[in-house]
Amino acid sequence: MIRSRRIKILATLGPASNTEEMIKKLCLAGADAFRINMSHSSHEMLSDLVRRIRNVEKEVGFPIGILADIQGPKHRLGTFANGEVAVQPGHVITLDSDPTPGDAYRVQLPHPEILEAMEIGHRLLVNDGKVKLKVIETGDGWAKAEVVNGTWLADRKGVNLPDSELMSGALTEKDRADLQAVLKEEVDWVALSFIQRPEDLAEARKICKGKVGLLAKIEKPQAVQRLDEIIEMADAIMVARGDLGVEMPLEVVPSIQKKMIRKCRRAGRPVIVATQMLESMIDNPVPTRAEVSDVANAVYEGADAIMLSAESAAGSYPLEAVQTMNSVAEAMEADKGYLDTIASQRPEAEPTGADAISFAAAQIAETLDLAAIVCFTASGSTGLRAARVRPSKPILALSPVTETARRLALCWGTRCVIAPDAKDLDDMVDKACEFAFNEGLVEAGGRIIISAGVPLQTPGSTNMLRIAYVGKDGKNTG
């Protein structure tokens, strides 16, 4: 299937979209990859969803990426004797480890690592920030906090900690079990929640052993402060604006989003913009004008992918949400100023032969008005380098490795095709011409530019460029 846009769409599956029929409709409407939220999915559900996606993949005939989103540590209050209590600014409540149902003056916080990390002046944001508490006193296994704003506290409400760095890792026992289940399935990416520091990726990388790409969700101030290190350690990044907008002032989130996208582009890491992009479409068949502008801004900033959450997972209009996101992205990329904007943000080439080759391929394709850039990639690194440049010409990524082609489904501008490995240089050129022609990227008489590594089948060795003429029936004519 030929997409006319470069940015990718990641759609979350849920009760509104988890049938094979609907998955196919979403895919044909524009979804390039699907997210499975392990906060709401059992291992059996995970297996069923992966099977359905792979069945659809066989029907549509192109690689589909799958991302499993690991829940991460969810911090919640304990319970109250009456289910909830009324509070007001100035009210003081003690947080401790006692499981006894709480009252207006104390309640359990069943997370000893939080009680240990809290210091005077630290904030606790309860129920997505609807209640703000400030620590005024700490002791061994307890803390007193004053209500800054808010009117009530209730059972099991979530707690965010913008000021406290927890020494516990990012993976819970549930996460470890979920990771083991994910590794048994044909999943391409794992998203890690509530990352605070680069070390939080180490345990997951050890468990996954390179079988999936690791995506770090940036949703805490501590992660923003160490963003460069986390980008270096991760395979991809998500601008997780939901919790990020709770733990940080809302007005700084847009600038953080822009900074993250630019840093990821410089590093050659795919970056996804997520949360509330078309939030009103959970209940309405059309979005607000502000939501359309939000999607458009992510496109103009050069993000690799944009994500639908509840809109496609539990909303009343999952298909319309994907169609809307697709049409907005297509319209923005068709705008005359789009490519100029993207080009103006192009990062400098890294001082490596592979990066220089990728930049040269884009420049030559633009100067000579070639039809497409075709790259052979086994590990995916050549495809990522080609996308990092954000060329004006289409990128066709040919890979003999199914997992690589699926993983690149979240990478900007790459049309991925699973293709047999080339036997030699002549065979490589023949295959590049044939697939570019069959994918509708070049007509007979047109030209393409090919990047690859020599010797062939050597991952990460991009060192060659070749311009090829495409003749009748997609045959190479020299």
In this structure, the answer to whether residues 197 and 273 fall within a common structural domain is yes
- 427: domain CATH number is 3.40.1380.20
Known catalytic membership, residue 217 = yes
Is 79 within a domain? no
Position 475 confidence tier, pLDDT thresholds 50, 70, 90: confident
Position 118 confidence tier, pLDDT thresholds 50, 70, 90: very high
Q: Which residue shows structure tokens 């699907």?
A: 34
Report, as an integer, the average pLDDT of 293-311: 97
Which residues, in sequence order, are CB contacts of 255 under 8 Å at separation 6+? none
Report, as an integer, the average pLDDT of 172-196: 96
Is 346 within a domain? no
Percent of the chain with pLDDT over 90: 86
pLDDT at residue number 138: 96
In this structure, the answer to whether residues 408 and 466 fall within a common structural domain is yes
Is 95 within a domain? yes
In this structure, the answer to whether residues 270 and 153 fall within a common structural domain is no
How many independent structural domains does the chain possess?
3
pLDDT at residue number 37: 97
In this structure, the answer to whether residues 96 and 61 fall within a common structural domain is no
Q: Which residue shows structure tokens 């060329």?
A: 391
> Which pair of structure tokens corresponds to residue 268?
């050659």
Question: Does 422 have pLDDT greater than 90?
Answer: no
Known catalytic membership, residue 220 = no
In this structure, the answer to whether residues 149 and 178 fall within a common structural domain is no
- What separation in angstroms does the CA of 356 have from each of 89, 381, 408, 448, 463? 59, 14, 21, 18, 9
- 93: domain CATH number is 2.40.33.10
Distance linking the first and last C-alpha atoms of the chain:
28
In this structure, the answer to whether residues 245 and 310 fall within a common structural domain is yes
- What separation in angstroms does the CA of 19 have from each of 33, 49, 53, 289, 377? 15, 8, 9, 30, 33
pLDDT at residue number 1: 62
Position 65 confidence tier, pLDDT thresholds 50, 70, 90: very high
In this structure, the answer to whether residues 308 and 190 fall within a common structural domain is yes
> What element of type H or E holds 451?
strand 447-453
> Which pair of structure tokens corresponds to residue 300?
């103009």
Q: Pairing state of beta strands 33-37 and 65-69?
A: parallel
Known catalytic membership, residue 76 = yes
The per-residue pLDDT for range 201-223, each reduced to its tens digit, is 999 999 999 999 999 999 999 99
Question: Does 251 have pLDDT greater than 80?
Answer: yes
- 50: domain CATH number is 3.20.20.60
Q: Which of 76, 157, 174, 258 is catalytic?
A: 76
In this structure, the answer to whether residues 396 and 422 fall within a common structural domain is yes
Q: What is the mean pLDDT of the chain?
A: 94
Q: Which residues pair with 397 in a beta bridge?
A: 375, 416
In this structure, the answer to whether residues 33 and 178 fall within a common structural domain is yes
Is 382 within a domain? yes
pLDDT at residue number 168: 78
Count of C-beta atoms within a 10 Å radius of residue 227: 18
> Which pair of structure tokens corresponds to residue 85?
């209590």
Question: Does 423 have pLDDT greater than 90?
Answer: no
The per-residue pLDDT for range 358-370, each reduced to its tens digit, is 999 999 999 999 9
Q: What SS3 state is found at 61? A: coil
Is 375 within a domain? yes
pLDDT at residue number 195: 94
Is 377 within a domain? yes
> What element of type H or E holds 135?
strand 131-139
Provide the domain limits for residue 385: 353-474
Chosen domain end from 101, 125, 160: 160
Position 157 confidence tier, pLDDT thresholds 50, 70, 90: very high
Is 179 within a domain? yes
As a residue count, the chain comes to 478
Q: Which of 217, 385, 415, 447 is catalytic?
A: 217
In this structure, the answer to whether residues 442 and 301 fall within a common structural domain is no
Report, as an integer, the average pLDDT of 329-337: 94
Is 342 within a domain? no
In this structure, the answer to whether residues 306 and 282 fall within a common structural domain is yes
Q: Which of 275, 377, 382, 404 is catalytic?
A: 275
Known catalytic membership, residue 406 = no
Q: Which residues pair with 94 in a beta bridge?
A: 106, 144
In this structure, the answer to whether residues 68 and 190 fall within a common structural domain is yes
Question: Does 350 have pLDDT greater than 90?
Answer: no
Q: Which of 5, 6, 35, 52 is catalytic?
A: 35
